Amino acid sequence: MKISVLGAGGWGTTLAILLCRNGYNTTLWEFNKEYAATLKEYRENFYFLPKVKIPERIHITNDVAEALSDKDILLFVVPTQYIRSSFKSVEGLDISKSIIVSAAKGIEMGTHMLVSDIISDIFKVKKNKLACLSGPSHAEEVSRRIPTTVACASKDLHLAGKLSKIFSNDYFRVYSNGDLIGTELAGALKNVIAIAAGISDGAGFGDNTKAALMTRGMREIMRLGMKLGAKKETFFGLSGIGDLIVTCSSLHSRNRFVGEQIGRGKKLAVILKEMKMVAEGVPTTRSAYELSKKFGIELPITEKVYRILFKGVTPHNAMLDLMLRKLKTEHEINDYHLT
C-alpha cells in the first residue's frame, strides 16, 4: 500500500513515521523546496519535530504532482487556511482512486468550509471517499510512542474501520465512527476554547475558571455542531471532550499558548509573528463567530475570544461580561435537544 502524507509539519512528520513503522510505502510532501531538501539530507524536522529521526525508507519530495499520483491513501496535514493555495497548481487533478484522509483541524475563513469540504471542492472528490483523523494527539508525544487514542470518521463506516486498522499499532489506537462533520467540527472548535483557557491562565484566573470555560465551551461546540448536522455523542468522544481536555491543558498546545500570551498582555500580531507553528484556533475563532451570527446561535465564550483577539477587548472585561450575563438553567430546553 502506497501512502502520501501531504504537509511536513510536526503532525505530518509524526504520522509519516507512524505509517512507515506500520509497514507502508510512505511519501512525505513538503511545500517549501529548500526545507524539503533539508529534511531529505538530515532526516530530521528541526523546526517542528526536533530530535526525532525520519526513517530512510520515507520518500521526501517537494513535487506535489508526484506526491498525489498513484497513491492508495492521501493524508492531508496542511494547515486549513493554506490547503487551497498549496494545491492550486494541481486543482482538478483526478485523485478519485485514492482514499482521502484529513488530519488538519479548522474552518476556512470566508467559505466556512471544513477540511473535507475544501478537499472535495478542489479535487471534486465524492464525500463518501473522505475521512478524517482527530483526537487528543500531540505530535511531540506520538512521535515518542506515548500511548494515544484518536477517532477516524467517515460517512462510510466501513472505510473508517479499514483506516483504523491501517493507522493503529501498539502505541496508537484508532476508533472508528460515522460522524464526519461532528468529528471535524469538534476538532476545529476546541481550538477556540483552548485559546480561552490560555487567556484565563495568562490573565491569572484559576483552575475553577478554566474548568468552567472548558465545560461551557463544550456546550457551545455541541450547540453549533448539532445545528450543522453533527451527532451529540461525537462530542463526548475522543474528538470532542478528549481533544478539548488535552488542548486546553497541555503545554504542547499552540492554541493554549496563544491565549496565554494574550492573557499576559501581548499583542496577537506579535505572538503569531514569533511562532513557527500555526495556531489554527485564531482564524477558526473568526469563522465560528461568523457562523454563530449566520445561524443565530448564542456562543458567549467564542464571541468573547473573538472580541479579545480582533476587537481589543481586555480579558478581564470579557470575563466580567461572561460572569454578569443573565442567569439561566444549566440545560436549556431549546438547546437543540442536548438534555
pLDDT at 334: 59
Q: For 66-113, how does the pLDDT look when each residue is reduced to its tens digit (9 = 90+)?
A: 999 999 999 999 999 999 999 999 998 999 999 999 999 999 999 999
pLDDT computed for residue 42 by the predictor: 98
Strand-pair partners of 100: 74, 130
Q: State mean pLDDT over 165-173.
A: 98
Q: What average pLDDT score do residues 139-164 get?
A: 97
Average pLDDT for the chain:
96
Domains of the chain: 2-178 (3.40.50.720), 190-323 (1.10.1040.10)
Taking 60 as the threshold, does the pLDDT of residue 191 lie above it? yes
Per-residue pLDDT, averaged over 273-280, amounts to 90
Q: What is the mean predicted confidence (pLDDT) over 108-121?
A: 96
Strands 148-154 and 130-134 turn out to be antiparallel
Contact 223, 244 (CB under 8 A): no
The residues, any chain, with a CB within 8 Å of residue 157's CB and separated by 6 or more, are 176, 177, 178
**Residue 180 scores a pLDDT above 60:** yes
Q: How far is CA 147 from CA 64, 77, 143, 166, in A?
A: 32, 21, 10, 16
Query: What pLDDT is stored for residue 127 in this prediction?
Result: 85
Mean pLDDT in residue range 33-44: 98
Q: Which residues are catalytic?
A: 190
Stretch 240-259: mean pLDDT? 96
Look up residue 173 and give its three cell numbers. 489506537
Per-residue pLDDT, 128:
85
Share of the chain above pLDDT 90, in %: 95
